[in-house]
Structure 1
Amino acid sequence: MKTHVKALVVGGGAVGTGIAYHLAKAGWDTMLVERDELTSGSTWHAAGLLPLFNMSYATTHIHKYSVDFYKSLEAETGLNAGFAVVGNLRMAQTQERMDEYMLYSSVAETAGVYHEFLTPAQIKERWPLINTEDLKGALYHPQDGYINPADVTQAMAKGARQHGATIERKVQVNGYRWTGEAWVVSCERMAEKGGRLVPSGEVFEITAEHVVTATGNHAQRTAKLLGIKIPAIPVEHQFIVMDKDPALVEWRKAGNPEHPVIRDADAQSYVREERGGWILGVYEQGAPARFDYAVPDSFRADLFQLDLERIEDQYAAMIARIPSCEESGLKDDFNGPICYTPDGNPLVGPAPGLRNMWLAEGFSFGITAAGGTGYYLAQMMTEGEAEIDMASLDPKRYGDWMTTEYAARKNEESYAHVYILHHPDEEREACRPLRTTPVYDRQKALGAQFGQVNGWERPNYFGPLDAPSNFDHDGRSFRRGDWWPYVEAEARAIREGVGMIDATAFTKHLVRGPGATAFLDQFTCNKLPKVGRINLTYALTSHGTTRTEYTIVRLAEDEYYLVSAGAWTAYDSDFLRKSAEDFMAAGGGYIDIHDVTTQWGVFAVAGPKSRDFLNSLVRDAEPETVLSNKRFPWLSMREIELGMCPVRAIRVAYTGELGWELHHPIEMQAYLFDQLMAAGEDFGLKLVGARAQNWLRQEKSYRAFGNELGRDGTPLEADLPRFIDQSKAFHGKDAMNATGVRGRCVTVLIDGPEDADPWGREVLLVDGQKVGRLTSGGWSVAFGKQIGMGYVAPEYAAVGTKLKLRMLRQEWDAEVVEDSPYDPTNARIRVDG
């Protein structure tokens, strides 16, 4: 048995074997170890469905790759993976569900996933056993279906061996130790004894340069061994197998094709054929999380007791949908653990705080994702980055504030929401409020309707003061929800008067020390600002794509205040610290880094009246001149006093109006808020939420990380050369320049429908052919029409280019406009007073 390998994969389910296959195929010396038998975890009892896509752009690509890859496995390995390409029929009982499917269609089209829309009559004509009386229609994917989980896992395992990988069963990992160059993994051979798996006493070590954990239900044990947090905890999933349906048997006997996988989302269930009968799987309310802290040693390929009462509504709905199955008896049942994460997407990428340790955990659709995860994770490991942006799946999207209790309760919610309508403005309620600012209650009393970002409660908009508790929930829509007029008024207030946004959730780091200046100079692509000034800049990946966006404030010669996106605190902190460690290890000067996110609150004040408003609170010998261009120019920072609160004021506004960010000690936030609100009465101050800010920043073509900026595009492709200093050396520069411009970021104005705005997931067309996609969308109060930002092929990026935007299954006129179409000369931002 080998004791030294390039990569060690821990876990022998579908995900682990998919990773081992692709690493071995990439030429890495790879070993996989499994504590029991291959497929003995959730893989063995999975239903094997292969839904091609969901609302995540990255996950859609992963699923699409898997479906295509599985179809090629038999030719390569000689093993039939058991892929039944029967299609996938997503049915809708309501118009709102059809609206959801139209948004699904946008994501599918941008990712190149084929699909069709069917009417109830077309469904009935193709599959007469399905009752269509209550249906509005369906979204149909003819290219996917279901697969045998054990067969596809064994096929990938054989393929991995053919590419040189080693697979060892009955090997349990008991510890990990990093030497500075490699991982030493403590292992123990396991043995069968009385139907149980027990340690044999044979212990040994495997040295691996890289380790990947794909431990499924055992993720909590893995987290403890690594000393990190992994919010992957299993939830019970039930499905039943029914006896033969005589009508189905006759249907197939007559030479008719197998039914597609039938997804009755409004009934929280799926149905597929199984040897003349049916399988019913459900995603019901009330399914409990299991193994919150560890899987018992006695639990192997085991199941839980079926809870039929929990799924009786779904069972009744199936009989209504396929009446011929009413007399079919129950043949078998399954209730097993399947891992979830708080947002339902897997955790794929580098482990927080560790070197060469990779996570592939939390797969609720592990069979569907196994092949694609192996493909893209192998790219990340062997090439430095994947060809798609994997940031949305990064394990560091949850910080150390996350606890086991939080993960368990949110995972239960995530399970129950599989078939709940997924509005783009969806905000889930479990475990909230959790992280709140000192003014949370004040804002709530003033009508704040909150969203959650990185655990923080952040106002999305301010609704009516007497709004019922379910106002936001009931007002959601795939079109313009009940929130829309409030957001429109907020956006207009900033354009015409003065508004204030709570931006406390911003990520904030203090970087200082003798090596700070040299480090940040090579870490980011723009010139560093002078003391008291700020710059917008980017840290790049080794491929030259955008890893993080920073606003850098220079406090002193060797002291910097870095502000970045609030959703990415742990993600940014990990990258920043590891890069600084590399810099110091290479001989650079000492750098001290502190995450000060929770120490500073932020209020962003913006609008034509913002200077006069703030002047009324400034404490200074000449208060009327403190905020003037002479004393406080654009893109600068000053320490000022507002009443009794010391404020680090930054003259910048993400909304594109005259404005300041007021960074203040978090313990003084309530005091400052009260002073601002009292003074604001004379100026018509309006509280503004994140949705209006998102609309306004698009009028200025301000790119957002996670939307326009990410690891699949360079700053040059984002059309940001003004923030790149080509005269200096910086990380990723050569790769950025060598990549060229494959696509170009543009802003478009759209003549769209009267009752809907783009969400930033729509396809852009020329003569019916896809030439790009939106990454952001909304409404422009300045232009009175829909607005969006996105990427197009370079030949379609010129100002004035006419495009079409597909939304709600119709094509709408769109036109590429100049960058920053609102106030392109920044005259309103620079105005003196």
Structure 2
Amino acid sequence: MSVNLPSHAQVVIVGGGVIGCSIAYHLTKLGWKDVVLLERKTLTCGTTWHAAGLVPQLRATYNMSMLAKYSTGLYESLEAETGQATGFKRNGSLTVATSMERMEELKHGASMARYCDFEVQVIEPEQAKEHWPLLNIDDLTGAVYLPGDGQTNPIDTTQALAKGAKMGGATIIEHCKVTDVFKENGKVTGVATEHGNISADYVVNCAGMWAREFGKLAGVNVPLHAAEHFYVVTEPMSDLGRNMPILRDPDGFNYYKEDAGKMLVGTFEPNAKPWGMDGIPDNFSFDELPEDYEHLEPYLEAAMHRIPSMGDVGLQVFFNGPESFTPDDRYHLGEAPELKNFFVAAGFNSVGIQSAGGAGKMLASWIVNGHAPTDLWDVDIRRNGKFQGNKNYLFDRTKEGLGLLYANHFPFRQYETARNVRKSILHDRLAAHGACFGEAAGWERANWFAPEGVTPEYEYSFGRQNWFEYNAAEHKAVRETVGLFDQTSFSKYLLQGPDACKVLNQICANNIDKPVDKITYTQWLNERGGIEADLTVTRIAEDQFLIVSGVETQTRDMDWLKKNIPADARAYASDVTSAYAVITLMGPNSRALISELTDADMSHAAFPFGSSREIDLAYAKVRASRLTYVGELGWELYVPTEFAPAVFDKIMEHGPTHGLKLCGYHTLNSLRMEKGYRHWGHDITDYDTPVEAGLTFAVSFKKPDGFIGKEALLKQQAEGVKKRLVQFLFEDPEPLCYHEEPIWRDGELVGRTTAGMFGHTLGATLAMGYVENEDGVTADWINAGSYEIEVAQKRYKVTANLGTFYDPENKKIRC
């Protein structure tokens, strides 16, 4: 087939599914006409064509829900704009629960839906049957109904987006496989195809199941793996209404929709079948995978239990088609950290249709304007580590990932597959002391410690879980004696060179040009004043700085650092995460304990807060940094990895006389919540500024030469803010909250929580969250209000505080 390729395009999009067509459509809406979409076969031929076409709006977070809401509105209007029918209809959705725990989850979601301004109804089983007369409600505990949800025809919707893109000036070329990616000086320059080459300013990887392999051509990590996804279609059912809502029965792992008078039943089973381990065939197009009745049998039985009349009809279609899944069931969006101007939109975990409109709009804006148009950390491709592109890791995680879409999303739920990927050198010692490990960015981290005779395993619920009292004991130890945390998973970077100080002082909002062995708490800001990173910087030599940040931002932070080092600067960044274990000792007895193990003077006068120096501890040379994330006296001990076990053993040997207790990350969280310390990715993101987040104490406005984002902050200070991060204390000691709960002020909805945890010292749950007011948010406005936080449809009175509820004068940390 002869294909007429342009020699150049401003943007080349690789992949003609609903995602690629949406990005092309939205780029033209922003005025970019020189857009070329290349599809190896024909539009929709990979995964889009066999999607179920569900378009729900409510997702796990507010930001993702807003993207889905946009998709719904877009699909509703596309036919009028393009003349191409989409098959979209707002027939609503109904999700049923068969347990109180599942109903609790649905109520949490319903509360967030209200904040998203979605019409939502929490209803009884009998009311659910009114919406779905075929429903067996004998074992239901309740349901949630969202009238604004809908469904669409995936092929027609994609064709409508493609037509809209072409109407806007884009070119779509089918039967043109991309075979290579060109790059120069760290920037993408074009692609090679089987019909010739195209130079390009931007390339977008929308290759679906092929995105991981296509990413490899560019040197870009795109962790995803295909899995078999099943659905069946019944013979015609005379009693099946044509406008019935989408039905979800997550406890049965099934969803149901009317399809031309027949019933389509799809499954998200917990024992999924990864597919394409050795690569996806080049000729794969509109193909189906082999049937597997034995695998699907339990879920078909569950379907006939939920819809008994299904037992009276036969199955007309048994479909098995592959879809791609990511390690955390969140799709990949954004500019690849490995290659400038190479963007990714892939790995949509069976929510590609509902996500395509919003994701396409966001990525198009990102390309045109050079930054994400809203907080997209949930799906930012920079959250991934290199190891997550390992196909063995992906194969094992995919077995679990598909089924997790319909699992009960309990707080603190941990992945069970692809574990023990990254271990602290202290892991086995912690395990011997009863550690129950969680996983973050592949790291096995002790979340809590079980006492002798107790199995260190989670028992999940939305209430007080089985580790609650153990967390209380750890929390008390840190407040009253001393606790030990293994924080080896910190991301650690070294910036060195003659220009290191000058470069880093431009990137940091605070002044890091301090004497050697001084620590600076700071943020990295973008030009809009948004917080790109929250970290500490320690000057360890005149031309060397140790930068420490969170576990999940390792790739992201290094990307930001490297992008902001001028090409001619004599400054070089290295990731030294694996070089050091970090043993943290916190609590009023920490000084006495460390002093037994070193001849260094650990007194406040000799070793004040914010200081860092190398000391002899046991047989090792250790960098001790006097910091805190818990609001107590303490030190972070940076120990060369090979020395850490001996240092740990020596601390444990001397610890009992000081009341030492091993502590986990749940305790770190409960302690920091009492103190009101922020957590990047939850409480602060690139769309929150230090002014809004109450962090201007970590900004040095008067330092020479300024810093990135200074002008935006000064403007915001002058004009005032419309949102502000506030800490809340529940008056009732019983409820627990986690995040995304609505915040009410004087009976009006004004915000949502970013984090929540029970504070054992204060004896109640604490939360943080942003309150908003179009006319401005001041301290007087905040203090004048009466507040409630809504948890699972019930409102609880809370006390608001712009400061901190625990040790507001910081006496504990400066003693």
Whether contact under 8 Å (2:439, 2:445) holds in the other structure is: yes
User: Could you give the per-residue CA deviations for residues 719-747 of structure 1, whole angstroms, max 9, x where no partner exists?
Assistant: 11111112242112223444552310111
User: Could you give the per-residue CA deviations for residues 216-235 of structure 1, whole angstroms, max 9, x where no partner exists?
Assistant: 01113212211232111111
Whether contact under 8 Å (1:344, 1:411) holds in the other structure is: no
In structure 2, which of residues 737, 740, 759 is the aligned counterpart of residue 761 of structure 1? Answer: 740
Q: How does 1:208-607 map to 2 (within 5 A)?
A: 208-248=200-240, 252=241, 258-364=243-349, 365-402=351-388, 403-468=390-455, 471-472=457-458, 475-528=459-512, 529-580=514-565, 583=566, 585=567, 587=568, 589-607=569-587
Secondary structure in 2 matching 1:31: strand
In the other structure, the counterpart of 1:98 is 103
**Structure-1 separation of matches of 2:131 and 2:344:** 43
Q: How does 1:633-652 map to 2 (within 5 A)?
A: 633-652=608-627
In the other structure, the counterpart of 1:88 is 93
In structure 2, which of residues 757, 765, 779 is the aligned counterpart of residue 786 of structure 1? Answer: 765
Work out whether 1:734 is the aligned partner of 2:711: yes
TM-score, structure 1 as length reference:
0.93
- Once the two structures are overlaid, the 10-residue window that deviates more, 137-146 or 172-181, is 172-181
Q: Aligned-pair distance for 1:260?
A: 0.8
**Structure-1 separation of matches of 2:270 and 2:173:** 39
**Structure-2 separation of matches of 1:167 and 1:734:** 42
Whether contact under 8 Å (1:499, 1:687) holds in the other structure is: yes
User: Could you give the per-residue CA deviations for residues 371-423 of structure 1, whole angstroms, max 9, x where no partner exists?
Assistant: 11011112222223334211221212221223111112112210121211111
Whether contact under 8 Å (2:624, 2:638) holds in the other structure is: yes
**Structure-1 separation of matches of 2:692 and 2:47:** 42
Whether contact under 8 Å (1:604, 1:653) holds in the other structure is: no
**Structure-2 separation of matches of 1:559 and 1:34:** 48
Secondary structure in 2 matching 1:676: helix
User: Could you give the per-residue CA deviations for residues 689-742 of structure 1, whole angstroms, max 9, x where no partner exists?
Assistant: 111111111221111101111012111111111111122421122234445523
Q: Aligned-pair distance for 1:175?
A: 1.0
**Structure-2 separation of matches of 1:144 and 1:281:** 18
Cα separation, partners in 2 of 1:830 and 1:373, compared to 1, 3 Å: same
Whether contact under 8 Å (2:233, 2:316) holds in the other structure is: yes
Unaligned runs of 5+ in 1: 190-202
In structure 2, which of residues 23, 43, 52 is the aligned counterpart of residue 47 of structure 1? Answer: 52
Q: Aligned-pair distance for 1:293?
A: 4.4
Secondary structure in 2 matching 1:412: helix
Give 2:709's aligned amino acid.
G
Secondary structure in 2 matching 1:569: helix
Give 1:650's aligned amino acid.
S
User: Could you give the per-residue CA deviations for residues 155-212 of structure 1, whole angstroms, max 9, x where no partner exists?
Assistant: 11111112221111111111111234963433335xxxxxxxxxxxxx3211111111
- Identical columns (%): 37
Secondary structure in 2 matching 1:238: strand
Work out whether 1:206 is the aligned partner of 2:211: no
Work out whether 1:615 is the aligned partner of 2:595: yes
Q: Aligned-pair distance for 1:799?
A: 4.0
Secondary structure in 1 matching 2:239: helix
Whether contact under 8 Å (1:183, 1:207) holds in the other structure is: no
Secondary structure in 2 matching 1:829: coil
Q: How does 1:712-727 map to 2 (within 5 A)?
A: 712-727=687-702
Work out whether 1:698 is the aligned partner of 2:687: no
In the other structure, the counterpart of 1:79 is 84
Give 1:454's aligned amino acid.
A
Give 1:787's aligned amino acid.
L
Whether contact under 8 Å (1:385, 1:543) holds in the other structure is: no
**Structure-1 separation of matches of 2:581 and 2:187:** 41
Secondary structure in 2 matching 1:35: coil
In structure 2, which of residues 16, 34, 41 is the aligned counterpart of residue 12 of structure 1? Answer: 16
Whether contact under 8 Å (1:751, 1:814) holds in the other structure is: yes
Cα separation, partners in 2 of 1:358 and 1:485, compared to 1, 3 Å: same
- Once the two structures are overlaid, the 10-residue window that deviates more, 595-604 or 567-576, is 567-576
Secondary structure in 1 matching 2:368: helix
Q: How does 1:754-833 map to 2 (within 5 A)?
A: 754=734, 756-793=735-772, 794-795=776-777, 798-799=782-783, 801-831=785-815
Whether contact under 8 Å (2:593, 2:654) holds in the other structure is: yes
User: Could you give the per-residue CA deviations for residues 52-108 of structure 1, whole angstroms, max 9, x where no partner exists?
Assistant: 122244322221221121112122112221112111111100000011112222433
Work out whether 1:655 is the aligned partner of 2:630: yes
Cα separation, partners in 2 of 1:686 and 1:110, compared to 1, 3 Å: farther
In the other structure, the counterpart of 2:605 is 630
Whether contact under 8 Å (1:272, 1:280) holds in the other structure is: yes
TM-score, structure 2 as length reference:
0.95
Work out whether 1:171 is the aligned partner of 2:176: yes
Whether contact under 8 Å (1:220, 1:293) holds in the other structure is: no
**Structure-2 separation of matches of 1:144 and 1:212:** 29
Whether contact under 8 Å (2:229, 2:320) holds in the other structure is: yes
In the other structure, the counterpart of 2:71 is 66
Cα separation, partners in 2 of 1:396 and 1:182, compared to 1, 3 Å: closer
Whether contact under 8 Å (1:120, 1:135) holds in the other structure is: yes
Give 1:13's aligned amino acid.
G
Whether contact under 8 Å (2:18, 2:353) holds in the other structure is: yes
Give 1:490's aligned amino acid.
E
Secondary structure in 2 matching 1:822: coil
Cα separation, partners in 2 of 1:405 and 1:241, compared to 1, 3 Å: same
Give 1:508's aligned amino acid.
K
Cα separation, partners in 2 of 1:422 and 1:685, compared to 1, 3 Å: same
- Once the two structures are overlaid, the 10-residue window that deviates more, 170-179 or 362-371, is 170-179
Whether contact under 8 Å (1:448, 1:462) holds in the other structure is: yes
Work out whether 1:711 is the aligned partner of 2:674: no
**Structure-1 separation of matches of 2:750 and 2:140:** 34
**Structure-1 separation of matches of 2:215 and 2:372:** 25
Cα separation, partners in 2 of 1:478 and 1:143, compared to 1, 3 Å: same
**Structure-2 separation of matches of 1:367 and 1:36:** 20
- Once the two structures are overlaid, the 10-residue window that deviates more, 93-102 or 55-64, is 55-64
How much is the aligned-residue C-alpha RMSD, in angstroms? 1.6
Secondary structure in 2 matching 1:401: helix
Cα separation, partners in 2 of 1:384 and 1:738, compared to 1, 3 Å: farther
In the other structure, the counterpart of 2:661 is 686
- Once the two structures are overlaid, the 10-residue window that deviates more, 458-467 or 39-48, is 458-467
**Structure-2 separation of matches of 1:824 and 1:493:** 20
Q: Aligned-pair distance for 1:758?
A: 0.8
Cα separation, partners in 2 of 1:736 and 1:209, compared to 1, 3 Å: farther
Secondary structure in 1 matching 2:472: helix
Cα separation, partners in 2 of 1:20 and 1:293, compared to 1, 3 Å: farther
Q: Aligned-pair distance for 1:753?
A: 5.6
**Structure-1 separation of matches of 2:10 and 2:157:** 25
**Structure-2 separation of matches of 1:350 and 1:733:** 25
Secondary structure in 2 matching 1:393: coil
Unaligned runs of 5+ in 2: none
Q: Aligned-pair distance for 1:796?
A: 6.9
Secondary structure in 2 matching 1:70: helix
